[in-house]
Chains A and B, each alone.
Chain A
Amino acid sequence: TQLLEQSPQFLSIQEGENLTVYCNSSSVFSSLQWYRQEPGEGPVLLVTVVTGGEVKKLKRLTFQFGDARKDSSLHITAAQPGDTGLYLCAGASSGTYKYIFGTGTRLKVLA
């Protein structure tokens, strides 16, 4: 069974701190996407990465796809209360393109 394990599961930090969320698997993925979900709403796509080693930046958010395409990370610089939410990675497995979501990281940024 393919799994996308995210760590940490929960994270509570002060405004201005930096943080990194990890998304790991033992399987190879053809692509990975990161979403943020706020309470009462559906997930919103933040980024898609497709090439091993790829790094993408979205304002204070930096996304990286591992060289072997088995893992990804999301780094937030100078976190703000507006970054609070559930962060989900999701990927299409290499070969079958079966789409699965990660276990999620719930982030709370305190003012």
Chain B
Amino acid sequence: DSGVTQTPKHLITATGQRVTLRCSPRSGDLSVYWYQQSLDQGLQFLIQYYNGEERAKGNILERFSAQQFPDLHSELNLSSLELGDSALYFCASSPNPGLAGGPGTDTQYFGPGTRLTVL
């Protein structure tokens, strides 16, 4: 158990819809990272928040957005969903701010993931 929690575990929805994925980091961790893992694209870094502020951006689509709240939990919002958005979405947390493009050498603790299926 990494100490990172993600809800829901599974989510099934239809094309065009909007969903929200939630992540609670390990106690004391200020950074939250979001990743997408799909069969064709592998694991991709989407975005990082550190202490409430956006810190680094990866391959995140404009239809996707995220935020980190004062209690440090984070939400990833996916809108206008397409079939190709079906994937596992992971969040990870770290105590450190990382580097400009992502976590750098920091140790990240990954949650169990949310499996999103778009029909």
Interface size class of A (residues with CB under 8 A): 20 to 34
Enumerate A78-111 residues with CB–CB distance to B below 8 Å: 88, 90, 92-93, 96-104
Q: Indicate if the CB atoms of A42 and B111 lie closer than 8 Å.
A: yes
Q: Does A44 reach chain B (CB closer than 8 Å)?
A: yes
Number of A-B residue pairs at CB separation under 8 A: 63
Q: Indicate if the CB atoms of A42 and B102 lie closer than 8 Å.
A: no
Q: Indicate if the CB atoms of A98 and B58 lie closer than 8 Å.
A: yes
Q: Does A50 reach chain B (CB closer than 8 Å)?
A: yes
Given A33-B105, A44-B110, the answer on whether A100 and B45 have CB atoms closer than 8 Å is: yes
Q: Indicate if the CB atoms of B112 and A92 lie closer than 8 Å.
A: no
Q: Indicate if the CB atoms of B105 and A98 lie closer than 8 Å.
A: no
Q: Does A30 reach chain B (CB closer than 8 Å)?
A: yes
Q: Indicate if the CB atoms of A92 and B108 lie closer than 8 Å.
A: no
Interface size class of B (residues with CB under 8 A): 20 to 34
For A90, list chain B residues within 8 Å (CB). 43
For A103, list chain B residues within 8 Å (CB). 42
How far in angstroms is the closest Cβ of chain B from A110? 24
Contact of B99 among A42, A44, A48, A97 (CB under 8 A): A97
Q: Indicate if the CB atoms of B101 and A97 lie closer than 8 Å.
A: yes
Can you sample 22 A-B contacts with CB below 8 Å? A31-B105, A40-B112, A41-B112, A42-B111, A42-B112, A43-B43, A44-B110, A48-B105, A88-B43, A92-B99, A92-B101, A92-B105, A96-B100, A97-B100, A98-B102, A99-B56, A99-B58, A99-B102, A99-B103, A99-B104, A101-B42, A102-B42
Known: A42-B2, A50-B105. 20 other contacts (CB 8 A): A31-B104, A31-B105, A40-B113, A42-B92, A42-B112, A43-B110, A88-B43, A92-B104, A92-B105, A96-B100, A97-B101, A97-B104, A99-B102, A99-B103, A99-B104, A100-B45, A102-B42, A103-B42, A104-B42, A104-B43
